[in-house]
Every structure is written in C-alpha cells, then in structure tokens.
Structure 1
C-alpha cells in the first residue's frame, strides 16, 4: 500500500499505475485510526472495518460485515453512484454523502476511497469516512452567529435613535444613528470616551447619572465633533452582560431638535393667535369710539368759517383720529379680520407691475433683483393686499440696508410635501406659490426673529415705525390661507418666505374702475340700525346733512317693526352686524323678504361676523368698515342706490 494511501487527501492514481496491495499494515491502520475505515469489494460488499466505523454507524462487526456500502448511504442521495463511477474510472474519489446509521438517523459525511489489491491479488477498495456533523454544526453555528450579528447591526443601524454601549464611559459599540448624531465617520466612535460627546452644560448631570446607574430618562444637550450642540432625550439601561470584566451600559438618545422647533412654532402660533384675538377685539371697540370722534368732529367743522379760531384744533383731532383708524386697520389685519376681495391673479405679474414703484422706494445703492417664473404663478388672493405685503417687506428690507446692498424678490410655483409639512406648523402638503424677499442687510438675532411678527414690537428707533408693518403682513398672509417664515442671521441678511396656495383656475380680469354715481339724496329713504347710541347719532346726522331722509332703530326688533309698518318706504338698510336679538345678516334677510327692493349695507368694527370663510366677502355684499368716514359712507350709499336692487332682473 505504501505512501500512496493518505486518509482524506488521497491523490488520483493513474490507470496505468499498478494497484497497491493491502496487507497486515492495513489492519494495523484500521485499528488505530480515529476515522471510520472500511474495506469493500469493488461491487460494494463490506469485507472489514475498524472500531470507529462501528461507533459511527451503530452496527456490530458481525452485522456490518457482508452489508453493502449502499446500506450506509441515504437512499435519496444520488451522489453515491456518481462517486463510484468516478472511482472506477480514475482509481480514487472523495465526495460528501448523506449517510445513514443503524437507527435510521442520517448525518452528513465525507467519504474518500481508493482501489487496491489484497495480498492474494484480489481487487479491494479502502474507504475512509469522516463525520461532518460536528463541523457542520460548528459551521452553522458560526454562520448563525455572523447572521445574528449582522441582523443585530442592521436593526441597530435602522433605529431612529442613537444607541451606544459603553463600559466605564468607554464606547464599545455605536449604531449608525449615533455616528450621524455625533458627526463622525463610520466606526470612529468605538474606543472613544462617552464624555467627549456630552455638551458642557449637561456633562456634570449626565456623568453623575452614569456613575449612579440611574435608569430614569432625562433631557440633555449632546455635542457633535464639530463643536455644535443639540437637544436630546436620553434613556439609559445597565445590561447584565459582562464585557471585559465589567457590566455594559446601554444609552439610547433621540435628537429632539425638530420636535423642539415644532413646539416653538406651535407656541409662537398660539401666542400670535391669542394676541390677534385680543387686538381684533380692541380694534372693534375702538372703531366705534373713533366713528364718534371722527364724525362728531367733522360735523362740528361744517358750520365753522375757515378762519374760526377752533377750526385748526378740530382739524388736529380729525388728523389724530384718522391716524388711530390706520392703526386699528393694521390691528385688524394682524387679527385676520380685514376685508379681502380675492380673485385669481398671477403673483409674478403683480410683482412685475410693482417694479417701478419698488425701485422708487429703494435708495440708489440697493440693487433690485426680480426672479420671476416664465409660466404664470396663479393663486387666489386680494391683489391690493398682496401688494401691501410686498411693500411692507420691501420697506423693512430697505431699512435693514442703510449702507446699500442687494434685494431679491422671487416668485416660484412649487409643491410642498409631507416632509416639509411635518417640520412647519400649519402647513398642509400641496401646490403653492412661493414669494420670497431676501436682503443682504444687518440681519437679526434669534431673539428678535422669535418676536418679529408681534404687534408693536420693533427694532427701529422712536419715530421710525409703529411695529405693525410685519404684524400686518403676518395677518394678511394667514387670512389668505398661507404661511410666512423668516430666516435671518446677523450681518448676513434676512429672508421672508411666503407660501400661498396655488390655483389652477383661469386668471381673473382686472376690476373695472368705478364711476362716481350721481343720485338725488332727497329721493331716498335710509333706515339706520345701530345699537351704539353715539355712533347711531353721528351716522344719522351725516346722512341728513347730505340730504337723505333717515329713520333710526336701536336694534333689529325695532327695525323690523318700522319696515312692516311702512312697506315699500325704505330704499336702503344700513345696519351694524353684531346686535342683540339677531345679527345684521339675519335682520337683512327678513327685511329683504318683506320688501325685495331694499338694498343693504353692513357696517362693523371688523368683518369677521359677516364673512363666510376667512374674511372673503361674498359677491354682491356691501360692507363699510368702521370707523365710519363721512366721505366713504356717502360714496358707498350713492354707489349702492345707483346700482341694481336685489329684486331687479340681471
């Protein structure tokens, strides 16, 4: 047999090589080998085996001798025939096989065989069998461990939270989120000190909790490798696993920057909403007072000569009341209670038409850039109010660039997605028109940005603004269904970005210029309904001095009684909106039902009560905002009385 026989590593014997002879040395090798070894005939009949074979297959020697090799192979394993064919062809073979024990149990094995001759010259086959079960199990266990580690790593990396395992403050494992949070390359957290990634203001507290093994969640600030800090929620757990001689502590952290921003946005929105409600209520009541002041003073001047000694004082009263009326209008705009007359417009066209006016507003050392889209950027808005918003922001930008700079106005149709909506309170996904005003001015500190839309808050000196310009912008944008955001940095500049809902409707044509109507006041009878006696008195007196025949009622019940007692007498109902018993709108409906020829004008300190949705007046509704101004009142009455009545055919 010689050196040509090597268990599990037998070389291939060329067919021309004479077969080795099996002698007593084969028997000696069989007895001492730890591998299972058998001697068979070329046809597969088992002639001899060693003790390891009996232990592997579970047979006695007497049972095994005379059995066929196929009895030791699983019947479903077709590799046996292929191995025999190869062995007969080349003299030796090595192949994996599924083997079967006496008990019927199967296991994976590796079989090597070589053809030789016995001492008397008869051909025989020496077979070596190795049980691969242990190795297979070890390989499978190793594979399972690798897969488990890979799955654990994948699960850890997929987590939204940062997960860090440390012992005594030294990081032993960190998932991808922790690396992203800390701004370090993959794998660069392991071996570093946990304390290096805790912000200074939280370090003492966090390390004390680590030292005490405190597992209660807490808020802290973490530190990135670039030195920036960010707020986190921390949850720690001590895990009963020994690693290098100590217990592992697991720290899970969640970056709450976005959540804190949303909370700040929500608080700011709630604060501005509360201020807006208060401002609107104050403005509503104040407008009634101003109506009396303005019109009583106006009436007082009517009979005075131009050189009367108190006329100049009365003119000053009127001037001051008109300035106060301007302030109340701005407060109403901030409180989203102004009157909007929207139509479909192209935002780019609106800004293009404002170009020359904007240029005149700016100093020569400010470069004006208009970035407008080639296609229409349509939205439903009040063009006058949109112009007011742009003007206010441009004036603000101009004042922020005392030494000149660049002002960029941009219009862009775009879609805001769910991701944007999740980080911007009040925004719904959809199509919008963006209007952005960017200056290169002095910018603002975060504390200023947080209060920039509050009424009467201003960074300008005395006599340089009321602090209502941006509050007005905020109110108009919100009342128009949009949102406004500000980004600013000291010495860099400021950007105000407005998002208004886009529209796919056709653009509305410009409103036709109104022509001054001519009517004979004495031919018309007006019913004035106002529950504030002083306001009622001055309105009635203004109309009577203008030549109208006027009746007055202090409430809806009295007004209905007058209409029913004198059907067909009244040409126009001038009514307040909020009154006891019923609203002005309900009163008007009953008056028109009783007499369809009666025209209606509503008056109010603000429009919220008669506006169906978001301050938009329905077509055909005539509204006079308080404080009542004599010229506006008489002009609107003439316009309504000269126009078609509610019962006239169109």
Structure 2
C-alpha cells in the first residue's frame, strides 16, 4: 500500500513539475511578447507624428536634397533609416543618400501601405543584412489620395536581442524560417518545406540573401519535436503579427528529466518515511485527499508568485517599494536602467534621491495629501538620474500593507522622456515652420516696398542735377535700401526659408561681407579678429548655408562669453594625407579649405562634447536656445562633403574647425556682375506687358521701362493681363510678371498662356527651389526683388539678346 502511495505521489510530482516548467516558460515568452508589442506601439506613435512633420513634407518636395532633415530625425528617433517611396516603390528621399533611387516595390510593407494600410514588417535589409522592424505608413496629397509611403526602419535586433539570449528564444515565420535566435539556427528553416514555397521565401528577401537550409526537425506532436540525431524537444510557440511570425522556445526533453530525477530521489525517500508515519496514525483516505489539495494549492500559489515576480522583474516599468518614511526597500531591474543607479546602491536611501528640484513644494503637498487618505496618486514628474540629467516619467504611487500590517508605498515609473522630447520637437518644428511662413510673408511685402523706395530714389537721382544738394539724401536712401535688403535675407537665413543653390564662392569674401552684421550680433564687450589666408581657393557651396554656419557659431561663441572675450575667425588651406586622416576625427585625405572659429569662453564639459551636434540638445535655459544651431551646422557641412571637429577646454575656450573640399578648376575667373550690368539699352518702342499687383512697384516698373524707351502695358492681376495679352498678342515683345498675384499664381498663368516672347518672373520671396529650376528649364528668366534699374537692364539685355 505504501509503495502504491509513493508511486502515486512521485508520478504526480513529475508530471506536475513538467507542466509547471512548461507553463513558466510560456509565461516568460508572454512577457517577452508584451515587450515586443510595447515596442511596436511606441514606433507606430512615432511614425504617426513623423508623417505630419514638416521635414517629411519638405523632403518630398526637395527629393534627394531632403536627406539633411531626415538624417536629423533618424538620429533623434534612434532609427536605422527613414525613407520616402513614390507610387512605384522607388525611394525618392532618405536619411541615407545611398538608398535614393532604389526600388523596393516588391516589399510587402510597401504593397500594403500604398493600398492604405499602415503595417509592420520584420526582415533583413538587402544592403545592410541587418534585422529590422520596418514601420510603413501611407502619405496623402492635398486631394486625400495616397501619393507616397513613409518607412521607418528600427533596429529591432538591438532593442530586444537581450530577450532572445536570456530566454534562448527564437523568432520564426509561419514556414519555420528562423530570423532571430542562436547563430547556428538563424537564416535556416526548422522543417523541410516544399521547393516552390522555399523559392518564394528566398525571393521575398525577408532573410536577405540567405540560402535557408533545413535543420531537419520533425513534429512528433504539436508541442514535441525531434531532430535528425533523435533528440527530443518541447516546442513552445506564441503568435505575433496576426500569426505571420512566432516567438518560440526549444526546451530539451532530457533537461526536464534530469532536473526531476534528482529531486524525485530525495522526494521518494522523504515521502516513503512520511507515508509510513502517516499511515500509522491516520487510516482514513480523507486526510490524503486533503493533503493533496493543500499541496496543489501551495504549488499554484508558488507558481503565481513566480509569475508575478517575473512580470515585475522583466517589465519595462520601474518599481520601487519604500517604508512609510520613504526609505527604499526594493527596486526592480528597470529602475536601474531608468535612473543609472545599481540595485545594490538604492536600498536604505530615501526616495527623495530622485528629486529634480523642478517641482515646487505645493506639488509634493498635494501628492502627500492623496496618499495619506489611502488613495493612489498618478501624474507626470521630472526626476533626476545618477549622472545629474533629468528624465520625464509617468508615475503612479499607492499605499499597501505588508504581511505584518505595516504600511508601505509602491511607486511605479514609466520613462516617457523620448515621447515628451518628440512632442516638444514636433511643437518646435511647427513653431519654426510658422516663423518661416511669417518671415516669407514679411520678406515678400517688405521687398515690394524696397523695390518702390529704391526705384523712386534712383529716378530722383537721374532727374536732378549731379550737384544738386538733395543728391546725397537720395544716395543715403539707396544705401539704406541695400542694408534693408540684406536684413530681409538674414531674417530668411534665421528662419531657414531662403532657397539658394551651390555656387562657386570664396570663403574670405563671404566672411568680410558678413563681418559688420556679426559685430552687431555679439555686442560691445566681445572683439572679433579675422585671420584670413590670402589667395584662398574657392569652394562649391550654398552662400546662405555658409552664412548660417558663421552666424550660428559666432552666436554660440558669444553665449559662451557672458562677461566678454575674443572670437577669432581664421581661414587656411590644408592638405591631409592618409596617415594624418587616421589621427583627425572624421577626416579624409585630400586638399581642403579650413574655417576655424575660436572663442575664449567657458568651454564645453568633456561628458557632453559628443552630444553637442545632436538635434535639440542644448545647455541653455528654457527660451534661450532651440538646440538646433550646431546640429544644423553639422548637417550643412556634411551636405557639402566636409566635416567638423571641435576642441574645447574648460575655462579656456572652444574652437570649431570645419573642412570644405576645394572646388575643381579653381583657376577659372568668377563672373564680374558689375561689368555684366553696366551697359545701357534702347527699347526702341518695344511693348512690354508688366504684371504686378503692388501699385507702387507697378508704377516704378513702368517708370524704369519708359526711361529705357519701352512702351509699357500695366496689369494688376491675371484677369487684366489676359485681356491685355489677347488684344496685343502679336505686338508684345516681353512679359514681366510677379509670381504671387491676387487672383492666382503668375507662373502657372504663364505656363497656360504659352507666349512666344521672352518672359521675366520677379518676386519678393520664393521658398521652393524646384520653381526656380522649372523657370530656368522652360527658358524663362528670374529677377529677385528689390531690383534696381541696372538689374532690370541686365535681365532685359539677356532676354532680348541686345
């Protein structure tokens, strides 16, 4: 009888241990799956915000030139790459210019997104051969039709690879192809699959260019596999992504038997002794039944406790338990990741250790009042890490009683720093877009006024005798107009709305032209010294971008010297050989023009030097900096094929060294604009249709043209221009039109009109490079307001070939 009872208990224990072991393994996989779902949800939210970001809209219009903004977003989001595809699946804009022009229309994520469905796709990059999670979302045009697909590739492998290593888990698709897991299993299939299906799987490139060799596993039952060597494995699976992918765990069958075997031996001896004693004193079977129930309940409670502990330990939320006085008694591993403190450092310390000083006393009084009433408190807090940096957290705190009826407090924190930062970036970008729109509007109207003011001053000078006393006043007006025009240009530089192209320029000339404006920026207590190398070679650069680099770095230097100091701007030619290139960060061998900007300020702490080029990183207080200045400098320099290095020492100063490639064929002479605009012309009574809505500009334009012996037909809008053109179609020699008219777009009007005569467009502000390009491609001409009579003479000479 005792032998039967012992056999029953041992067999019952062995089966129960197997079930519990597999149950715990499945629970661990479920927790891991929750981490993946949380990762997916976060990325979907980021993609949704990204789709409405102005940088994405600009990237569509700029094409391959839009990589700068996308690369900043890539760094900020921690993405592998961000790219935009047209309706054919061709990449038109990307944070990495090497992807531009590639067609990935065969990818499943593109096919679903172009049909209106946001989706996630796991797979390997064809170029990089790295595992990633591709999040795709359709983009619509003004009519609501799908025009493009936005894709954000996240380094899925790096984010949760630790989970695969810790659990020994694998990630497989429905065909058994292993995407993540042990090295010996990755890029193979667990089972033999049909040749047609295997060929389709290879062509899909989900696994890159892998051959997908079978590992020869066979199913004995739904949860039991056997390999080609006869070894058995428990096969635990959980579906993800609508059953297209699975998390799986292969648990060796012998592993469980070995663990139960040693325990069974001990258990058998103890159980036999216990049963003999029990049978001696208890002869009713009810006691055995009750004992079995109690053992089952205890095991169930222990299993539940293990599961809850696993959830707390492996969850992404930080958990802290304190006594009634706020002394920390327990923390989970997530708190260490969030705060930087090790788990050994925190017990015994007060939870006030995390106080940032951002919240006032009233904040904590309100929280304490809630907790004293026995209620929970939930809110967002700014806390401090071990390294002194701040993080944003959604926090829940509630009181509990322990087993001895002592009050404890549980604090659960979720780090939302990235989400808050993304929201702030979106707000900042929208604010900058609004400022840019305002600046564009101001530029258009202001340049119209300057055109009229400058024109009337020029006419006044021509109408008066050369020695008239008021001549000097008209000349002063022209001088002020020129300065005002430069001021508008600087306004557009600051708001990043100026559209210009790379041209051949001399860095010394640009610095000298900007010198006065830089002096006004820095104040009287700071001195700027120029050390410009003579005979400096030209570079190919965007003049507006170069000015922006100078302004950003000089303003940065000024802010580092609140008590005054020295700024030195230096240019030089430097040749870097292969050996030197290895010792200079980011350098490449070749000949370069080097721009150095040095200050005698406070210097940059070594621990943040590597972060200063990160977008939105700033050490300035709220409202004193956007954190974009240096990241814009870095992106511009990178776009120009150069690099930037920074050297700094606390209390001694900082120097930024920027390297630009020298322009090819530097012996060519630059175009002499003054000579080009110096000749006069005779209109010989030719008829010009002049379309301009601003009456003062319209009148001064008419004055200019009549002085040049042209007959002028004036129109204030498209409707009037159409009527005049219909009446004088054959007589009109030139059309001069503003781009922005009250009843439509001047450029679109001319395109529909298709005149045979030359066309000159003018505007006070243009913010799209492609319009300038299209004007040029159609054989038309362009002049920027405010323009002088000499500018008008030059453009008319070119268009009429006089």
**TM > 0.5 between the two?**
yes
Partner of 2:319: 163
SS in 1 for 2:759: strand
Q: Which residue of 2 aligns with 1:559?
A: 721
Give the gaps of 5 or more residues in structure 1.
1-50, 59-95, 99-106, 113-127, 370-377, 410-434, 455-469, 499-505, 644-650
DSSP-derived class of the 2:377 partner: coil
Of residues 458, 461, 472, the one that matches 1:298 is 458
Indicate the residue corresponding to 1:267 in structure 2.
Answer: 427
Aligned partner of residue 319 in structure 2, secondary structure: strand
Deviations 1:568-595 (A, max 9, x none): 322211011222443211331244x3x4
Q: Is 1:320 the counterpart of 2:473 in the alignment?
A: no
Shift of 1:162: 1.2
Alpha-carbon distance between aligned partners in 1 of 2:297 and 2:447, rounded to the nearest angstrom: 84
Q: Indicate yes or no: 2:316 matched with 1:186.
A: no
Cα deviation for residue 324 of structure 1 reads: 1.8
2:569 & 2:602 partners in 1: Cα distance?
13
- Name the CA distance, whole Å, in 1 between partners of 2:409 and 2:395: 13
Deviation at 1:636, TM superposition (A): 1.6
Structure 2 CA distance for aligned equivalents of residues 309 and 624 of structure 1: 33
Where do residues 193-592 of structure 1 align in structure 2 (5 Å cutoff)? 193-199=350-356, 201=360, 203-225=364-386, 230-239=391-400, 242-342=402-502, 354=507, 383-396=542-555, 403-404=565-566, 439-442=598-601, 446=619, 450-452=623-625, 513=671, 516=676, 520-523=681-684, 524-591=686-753
CA contact (8 A) 2:355 2:384 kept: yes
1:635 alignment partner in structure 2: 794
Secondary structure of 1:571 counterpart: strand
Q: 1:53 to 1:406 in 2, by over 3 A?
A: same
Larger RCO, structure (CA 8 Å, separation 6 or more): 1
What secondary structure, in the 3-state scheme, does the structure 1 residue paired with 2:744 have?
coil
SS in 2 for 1:521: coil
SS in 1 for 2:787: coil
Change (3 A) 1:181 1:336: closer
In structure 2, C-alpha distance between the alignment counterparts of 1:368 and 1:153, rounded to whole Å: 67
Q: How far apart, CA to CA, are the structure 1 residues paired with 2:772 and 2:655?
A: 26
Distance in 2 (alpha carbons) for counterparts of 1:548 and 1:404 = 55
Q: How much does 1:197 deviate?
A: 3.6
Q: Secondary structure at the match of 1:165?
A: strand
Measured against aligned partners, the alpha-carbon deviations of 1:249-271 in whole angstroms (never above 9, x if no partner) come to 42111234334433333333333
Evaluate the alpha carbon distance shift between residue 292 and residue 397 of structure 1 in structure 2; reply closer, same or farther with a 3 A threshold: same
Work out whether residues 358 and 394 of structure 1, in 8 Å CA contact, stay in contact via their aligned partners in 2.
Answer: no
Q: Is the 8 A contact 2:758 2:800 kept in 1?
A: yes
* Cα shift at 1:217: 0.9
Q: Kindly name which structure, 1 or 2, has the bigger radius of gyration based on alpha carbons.
A: 1
Distance of 2:649 and 2:419 partners within structure 1: 22
Is residue 163–residue 174 contact of structure 1 (8 Å, CA) maintained in 2? yes
CA separation of 1:215 and 1:453: change in aligned 2, threshold 3 A: closer
Change (3 A) 1:495 1:149: farther
Please report the TM-score for the alignment, with normalisation by the length of structure 2.
Answer: 0.47
**Cα gap change, 1:437 to 1:223, in 2 (>3 Å):** same
Kindly tell me: are residues 630 and 151 of structure 1, through their superposed partners in 2, closer, same or farther at Cα, counting changes over 3 Å?
farther
| Coordinate RMSD, CA, aligned | 5.5
What SS does structure 2 have at the residue aligned with 1:602?
strand
Q: Deviations over 1:323-374 (max 9, x none)?
A: 222222333444554342358x9xxxx8xx63797699798989999xxxxx
Cα deviation for residue 111 of structure 1 reads 8.3
The residue that corresponds to 1:172 in the other structure is 329
- Gaps of at least 5 residues in structure 2 are 9-257, 279-287, 519-526, 534-538, 572-593, 604-617
Tell me, yes or no, if the aligned pair for 2:318 and 2:414 is still in contact at 8 Å: yes
Seen in structure 2, the aligned counterparts of structure 1 residues 129 and 618 have a Cα distance that, compared at 3 Å, is: farther
Distance between the aligned counterparts of 2:4 and 2:542, measured in 1?
Answer: 100
Deviations 1:288-320 (A, max 9, x none): 222211101110110222221111122222222
The residue number in structure 2 matching 1:103 is none
Range with bigger deviation, 191-200 or 558-567: 191-200
Contact 1:110 1:131 in 2 (8 A): no
Task: Note if contact 2:569-2:595 (Cα within 8 Å) is conserved in structure 1.
Answer: no
Alpha-carbon distance change, 223 to 331 in structure 1, aligned in 2, over 3 angstroms: closer
Aligned equivalents of 1:452 and 1:55: distance in 2?
Answer: 78
Distance 1:528 1:197 in 2: 69
* Distance (whole Å) between structure 2 residues aligned to residue 291 and residue 404 of structure 1: 39
Residue pair 2:377, 2:396 contacting (<8 A) in 1 also: yes
Question: How many angstroms apart in 1 are the aligned matches of 2:775 and 2:434?
Answer: 24
Question: Deviations 1:377-430 (Å, cap 9, x if unpaired)?
Answer: x9xx96222322233345446656764478799xxxxxxxxxxxxxxxxxxxxx
**Number of residue pairs the alignment of both structures matches:** 459
CA distance in 1, matches of 2:622, 2:266: 76
Partner of 1:459: none
Per-residue Cα deviation, 1:150-176 (whole angstroms, up to 9, x for no partner): 665553343332111234234332111
- Whole-Å Cα distance in 1 between the matches of residues 482 and 450 of structure 2? 8
Alpha-carbon separation, structure 1, partners of 2:390 and 2:715: 67
Q: 1:534 to 1:110 in 2, by over 3 A?
A: closer
Deviations 1:26-47 (A, max 9, x none): xxxxxxxxxxxxxxxxxxxxxx
Task: Check 1:111–1:230 CA distance in 2 against 1; reply closer, same or farther (3 A cut).
Answer: closer
Classify the secondary structure of the residue corresponding to 1:187.
coil
SS of residue in 2 equivalent to 1:538: helix
Q: Distance in 1 between matches of 2:565 and 2:354?
A: 43
Q: Secondary structure at the match of 2:676?
A: coil
Name the SS of the counterpart of 2:402 in structure 1: strand
Q: Deviations over 1:182-217 (max 9, x none)?
A: 432223323443344444545544444433333131
Q: Is the CA contact 1:283–1:328 (under 8 Å) kept in the aligned structure 2?
A: yes
